[in-house]
Chain A
Amino acid sequence: MKPINNKNSKVSLFSAVHSRHSVPSYWKVSLCAACILFEARSSFAVGQDVSALYDLSLEELGNIQVTSVSKKEERLSQAAASIYVITNEAIRRAEARNIPEALRLAPTLQVAQISAYRYAISARGFNSNTANKLLVMIDGRTIYNPLFAGVLWESQDILLDDVDRIEVISGPGGTLWGANAVNGVINIITRQTEKTLDNLLRVTEGQQFESISIRHGGKLADSEGNYRVYGKFDQRDNSVRRDRSPEEDAWQRGQIGFRSDWNQGQNAFTLQGDAYQNSIDQSGPGQQENTGANILGRWNSALQDGSNLRIQTYIDHLQTKAPAIYSEKLNTLDIEIEHSLAKEDSEELIWGGGYRVAKDRIGNTSLVAFLPAERQLEWANIYIQQKNQLWKEWLFTLGGKLESNDYTGTEFLPKATLAWQRSQEELLWFRLSRTVRAPSRIDRDLYSPGNAPYIQVGGPEFRSEIAYTSEIGWRAQLGQSFNYSLVAHYSEYDHLRSLDQTSSGQLAVGNGTEAKTSGLEALANFQLTPDLSFDAGAVYFDKQMNIDFEPFLASDDGHFQWQLGTSWRLQENQHLQINLRHVSELPFPKVPAYTSLDMHFNWRLSQKIELSLAGRNLNDPYHEEFAMQSGVVSLNPIQIERELELSLRVHF
C-alpha cells in the first residue's frame, strides 16, 4: 500500500544518495540499492491495511495522489484516426517551457528546434520552419498565419499549467477542420475555469532560461461561473553554433490573458483572450518585435431534441517587425457555427459552416516584398459529416467540405471512413480522403529582391496543392493496463510548390513538384503498476519526389524516430519522469541522428509547494536538430545544449 508508507523509505532515499557520494564504488552502490529494496518492502508490508488511511491527518489525506489508471477519454478508444493525446500531467511532468516542447511528447509529430525561438514542426513529413500542412488551434482559434501558411511559434504561448490536453491528429483532418489540415491537426485545449479555482505562482530558473508566471482563479460574482487571469514573463539566452560561436537570438516575452466560463441552464458560455509582446535579438540591425492580442467567445447550447449547437467567434490581431527583413500587421475575424446530433453511439450527424476574413499590411524592404503590400483575404466553408451503422459492428462515416478562398475559388475536401468495432477494446479502421492546401500570400505574392528588377516574381499561376491519402489503423486494449495503436498510411501529393523559370528568365512559384509518402505509426502505453507507466511511440516515414531536392523553401525529413517516456511515482510526493527520444538522420541539409535523454524530478514538499529539477539532453552536451531556416541552408547550425533547471510551484 503505497500512500501510507512511513517516513523510513524517504529517509532511505537520502541516505542512498549520500552513500553514493561518499562511497562511489559500483558494488557498494548495488549493495546499498539492495538494502533499499529490502527496507522498502518491509515498510510496505506494515501498511497493507486500508484502515491505516483513517489514521492520517487532514493534511496527509490532502497530499495523497489519486490513481487515475483508466481516466482516458472513452471516445478516444473509438476514434477512427491516428490520435495521440498529450495530457496536462504529461506536460507538467516533462516541465515543458513552451508549446513546441509540449508537442515533442507526441511521438507522431516531428519537432526540431532551429534556434532559441524557432522550430520546425510537422506531421508525416514536409518539415521546415514554414511547414504548411499542419493546422494548429488554441481553444478553437487557428494560429496558422495566412502570410506564410505556417505557424510562427515564437509568437504563440500559453500558460502550460492550465492546458487540459493537446489532441494531435496525424493524417488528413480537412473535412471537419478545414484546408491546410493536410497532414495533421493540433488542437490545444485549455482547462475549464472550474478546474483552476486556486492561485498558482511558478518560478523557473535555468542555465539558459528563466520564467515567472502567476495565475489567479475564482468564481464570478453571480457564482454561476468561474474565471481565471494569468500573466507570465519568460526570457532566454543566446544559442551557440556548431563552431561554438554565439548566435544572437536571445529573447524576452511577456503575456497576459484571461478565461471565464459560465452556465445558464442548457447554455454554456466562454469568453477568453490573451495579449503578448516579445522581442528577439537578431544578427542584423535592431530587434525583432512581435505583439498580438485576441479575444474569443463561444456559446454551446444543448437543444430540446438532444442535439448540440456551437457558435464561436474571435478576433485576432498581430504585428511583427523584423528590421531590414519585413514587417506585418494582420487582423483576423472568424465566425463558426456547428450543429451535431448524436442519436446513439453508432449514428451521428454533424454539419456547420464558417467565415473568416483577414486583412494585412506588409512593410516591404529591399530584401523581399509582398505585392500588393495590403491585402484582404476571405474564406468561407460549409461541411457535413454523417456516421451510420452499416451492419452489426461496421460503421461508415462519409463527410465533405466545400471551402472557398480568394485565390482559387471553391475546393472540395471529401473523406470516407469504414470502421469495425470488433469489441469495446478493439477497433479496425480504413479511410480515404482528399485534402487541399489553398494558396497563401507567400505562394502568390512574394517578390525578391524588394524592388524591380525582380528575380522572383510571386506565383501568379500557383494553384492549390492536393493530397490523396489512404490510411488503415488498428487500436486495441489488452486488459486494464496495456493499449496500443498501429497506423499505416500512403499519400500522393499533386501540384506541390516548385520554383520554375518563366519565359523571361525570372523565377515564379509553380506546382511542378509531386510526391508519394508512406509510413507507419505505432503507439503503446503500458501501466505496469499504479505508480509506474511507460509510453512508447515509433514512426517510420518515407518520401519519394519527382525531383532530386526541393529548391525553394524545402523540407527536410528523416526516416525514423522513436521515443519512450517512463513515468514513475517514487513516493507519494516524489515523481521521476524519464523521456528518451531518438531521431534518425535528416538527408538534406544533412543533420546527424541524435538521441536525447531528459530526466525530471518533482518533489511536492507540502500541499502548497512543489519543487522540480529538470534535466534536458543529459546524455549529450550538444546536438543539432535542423540546419535550415526559410529555405536557407545553415552551414553552422545552432546546437541544442544540455540544460539544468529548477522550478518552484506554489499553490495558494
Chain B
Amino acid sequence: MSVFFRTLLLLLIYGLALSAGAKEAGLSEKQIKAAYLYKFSSYIEWPQTAFPEQDTPMTIGVLGADDLADELSDFVSHQTINGRAINVKTLKPGEVLAGLHILFVGQRQSEQLKTLLNSIQKQPILIVTESPAALDFGSVINFVLVDEHIRFEISLERADQNGLKISARLLSVAQKIEARRS
C-alpha cells in the first residue's frame, strides 16, 4: 500500500471517529447567540438606576425569537451574574418594554425595528439585534454572520446614549465598532 493510500485511510478513520462523536447535533445560530447574550452581561456596566436593589435580578427580554428565549432560559434558570439572578422574558409584539436590562430583537421583528427602537431611546437597555443596518436604527450590538461564524458589531454612540459602558475586552472581540459621532 502506498504512503498516499495509507494517509487517506488514516484520515478516513480519523474523520469517521470525529463524525461518530459529532452525530448528536450541530450547534445552531440560536444556541450560539443565546450564549453570547449571557456572556455580554459580564462586559457591560449599567448605570446605578438600572438596578435599584442589591439583588434586583438581571432581566433579558427576547422579542421575535421564541426558540432563542427557550434556549436561554433553560440555561440561565440556576445561574447568576455578579450575584444577581437572571430572568428571561419572552416578549410578544406590542408588549410594553419595561424593566429590561437586555433586549434581543430577532430577525422576525426586523421590519418594525426602527419604530420599536425609537420608542425606547435613551433607556439603560442593552439592545441586541440580528438585522442588517440595525445599529443605525438604535441597536447597541448587532450580530452578523461572517463566513458561517457569528460575530457582532457595536455602536459606541448608542451605548453612550443608553448610559451603558462597554468593557475594552468586549470591544476587542467585535467585528466592527461604530465610533461616537462628535
Enumerate chain A interface residues (CB-CB to B < 8 A). Answer: 1-3, 5, 9, 13, 16, 20, 24, 26, 29-30, 32-34, 36-37, 40-41, 43-45, 48, 50-51, 53-54, 56, 58-59, 61-69, 89, 194-195, 197-198, 219, 223-224, 528-532, 568, 570-571, 576, 607, 618-619, 651
Contacts and interface: CB of A to CB of B under 8 A. Distances in A.
B88 to A, nearest CB: 13
B25 A530 contact: yes
Nearest to A13: B14
A61 B35 contact: yes
B18 A61 contact: no
B interface: dominant SS: helix
B19 A53 contact: no
Contact of B35 (A36, A56, A66, A89): A56
Given A16-B10, A54-B39, A2 B148 contact: no
A3 B27 contact: yes
Which of B1, B16, B22, B133 is packed against the most chain A CB atoms within 10 Å? B22
A37 B24 CA distance: 17
Nearest to B40: A58
A198 B176 contact: yes
Contacts of B173: 58-59, 62
Contacts of A529: 19-20, 22-23
B27 A66 contact: yes
B35 A53 contact: yes
Contact of B148 (A89, A224, A571): A89
Contacts of B48: none
Interface of B: 1, 3-4, 6-7, 9-11, 13-29, 31-32, 35-36, 38-39, 43, 75, 79, 132-133, 136, 144-151, 169-170, 173, 175-176
B17 A36 contact: yes
Contact of A531 (B1, B4, B18): B18
Given A33-B13, A64-B32, A570-B15, A2 B38 contact: no
A45 B24 CA distance: 11
Contacts of B31: 50, 53
Contacts of A45: 21
9 contacts: A26-B1, A33-B14, A40-B17, A50-B31, A61-B39, A62-B149, A530-B25, A531-B22, A607-B149
Contacts of A607: 149, 151
Contact of A223 (B18, B38, B75, B136): B136
B18 A224 contact: no
A3 B31 CA distance: 12
B27 A53 contact: yes
Nearest to A48: B24
Given A20-B7, A223-B136, A532-B15, A41 B21 contact: yes
B25 A66 contact: no
Nearest to B175: A198
Contact of B32 (A29, A41, A53, A568): A53
A330 to B, nearest CB: 37
B167 to A, nearest CB: 11
Contacts of A24: 3
Contacts of A65: 148-149
Contacts of B43: 58
A62 to B, nearest CB: 5
A378 B22 CA distance: 58
Contacts of A532: 15, 19
A223 B133 contact: yes
B64 to A, nearest CB: 19
Contacts of B175: 197-198
Contacts of B4: 618-619
Contacts of B79: 54
A556 to B, nearest CB: 31
Nearest to A19: B10
Contacts of A50: 31, 75
A283 to B, nearest CB: 35
Nearest to A45: B21
A198 B149 contact: no
A197 B143 CA distance: 13
Contacts of A5: 21
A605 to B, nearest CB: 14
B18 to A, nearest CB: 6
A2 B26 contact: yes
Nearest to A40: B17
Contacts of A528: 19
B119 to A, nearest CB: 21
Most buried by A among B28, B38, B145, B147: B147
Nearest to B25: A530
Contacts of B35: 53-54, 56, 61
B14 A1 contact: no
B13 A36 contact: yes
Nearest to B150: A66
A29 B169 CA distance: 44
